[in-house]
Amino acid sequence: MPDQLRCYSPVDGKQYVQRSYCSEEELNTSLELAREAQQVWQLMPLAERLKLLEGVLGYFDEHRDLIAEQISWQMGRPCRYADGEINGLLERGRYMLSIAEQSLADIQPPSTPDTEHYIELTPVGLVLTVAPWNYPLLTTVNSVIPALAAGNAVILKPSAQTPLTGEHFQRACAQAGLPSGLLQCVHLRHEQTNKLLSEAKVDFACFTGSVAAGAEFEKSAAGQFIGLGLELGGKDPAYVRDDLNPEQLKEAAVALAGGAFFNSGQSCCGIERIYVANSQFEVFCEHFVAEVKSLNLGVPTLSEATLGPVVKASAANWVRKQIEEAVAQGAKAWISTSDYPLDDGEGVYLAPQVLTNVNHNMSVMSEESFGPVVGIMPVDSDQQAIELMNDSDYGLTASIWTKDVAAAKLIGKQIETGTVFLNRCDYLDPALAWTGVKQTGRGISLSTLGYAQLTQAKSFHLRLG
Side chain identity, residue 119: I
Contact assessment for residue 86 and residue 61, using Cβ atoms and an 8 Å cutoff: yes
Cα first-last separation, the chain: 65
CA dist 349 and 276 (Å) reads 29
CA dist 106 and 46 (Å) reads 12
User: Would you name the residues annotated as active-site residues?
Assistant: 231, 268
CA dist 133 and 311 (Å) reads 9
Q: How do 397-401 and 236-240 pair as beta strands?
A: parallel
Selection from 150, 193, 130, 174 nearest residue 41 by Cα = 150
CA dist 198 and 461 (Å) reads 35
φ and ψ of 226, to 5 deg: -95, 130
Contact assessment for residue 441 and residue 230, using Cβ atoms and an 8 Å cutoff: yes
CA dist 22 and 167 (Å) reads 13
The three-point CA angle 287-364-282 to 5° equals: 25
